Amino acid sequence: MDNLTSKAKASRFSFEFFPPRSPDAESQLWSAIADLARWRPDFVSVTYGAGGTTQEPTLATVSRLIGETPLATASHLTCVGKTREEVAETVQTFRKAGVKHFVALRGDPPDGVGKTYRPHPGGFANAAELCAGLREMGDFEISVSAYPEKHPESTDVNADIDMLKRKVDNGAHRALTQFFFDNAVYLRYLERVRAAGITIPIVPGIMPIQNLTQLKRFAASCGASVPSFLDRRFEAIEDSAEARQALSAEIAAEQIGELQGHGIDEFHIYTMNKAGLVGKVLEAVGATPARLESAGAAA
């Protein structure tokens, strides 16, 4: 336990949230933020719908995070469906709100995941071009996405890694991976990325399992695999919400612990705007929460 605790203390964690779409969802989000702030994340990020479909809720969320909490805050940013000028206007709006860190993403096709992506004639063609644009617009910290199991639209892993290298060459500081559950997949990917000369942090995305059935549907749409061992482990427990949450925390903690053993010291956790399970995961890996004086302002 002492060794695990020391690794957790040396590790850095960041959290992803999504903007609320109802008063109840907003209440849940800010309750989760207030609770998870105690874990002193390296930063938090807020998602941004394709084509800016959540621009106003995202802006409202990041503005409040910056104004009312001590949390370093990043906003997702997509370029699909917009001209370069429209993207620049969005960036300036977020900059005025205090945003200094963007998670630069191409975004899903307007017709939905799985449909053909067509760049806007006057826009950025992809996330690599968006990174270059952001670098020209200001001195921003830039995070990007990475796909240990290949982006669903990439022809192969080599093409996918080539795109990641273009993002890095154009200014990306770190990559946050799509969630995965087989650490061997991530470690093989990391080896190939390093062999390609990419040296930025490749931060593993960790998805604590809130609902296995829903997770499978989501994973199928974004090209992530769900190993069969997860079915076996969930089938072996009693059918209670408490038991499922305990097992979910155990699985995520095991995944983080194994990666720590391979020298990985930074993790990006997809919270789904729910603090309880994420807190249990962090407790299980030996992280220690702290009372932050400003955390209550988020509630």
Residues carrying an active site annotation: 16
- Return the ∠ at Cα 67 (arms to 84 and 132), rounded to 5°: 25
Kindly provide the b/e burial profile for residues 204-217, where b requires at least 16 CB atoms within 10 angstroms of the residue's own CB. Answer: bbbbbbbebeebee
- Residue 43 in contact with residue 76, Cβ under 8 Å? no
Backbone φ, ψ for residue 269 (5° rounding)? -105, 125
DSSP percent split of the chain into helix, strand, coil, nearest 5: 50, 15, 35
At 75 the three-state DSSP class reads strand
Give me the amino acid identity at 246.
A
Rounded CA-CA distance 229/234 in Å is: 9
Tell me, rounded to whole angstroms, the distance of Cα 69 from its chain centroid: 20
Sign of CA dihedral 116, 52, 98, 121: positive
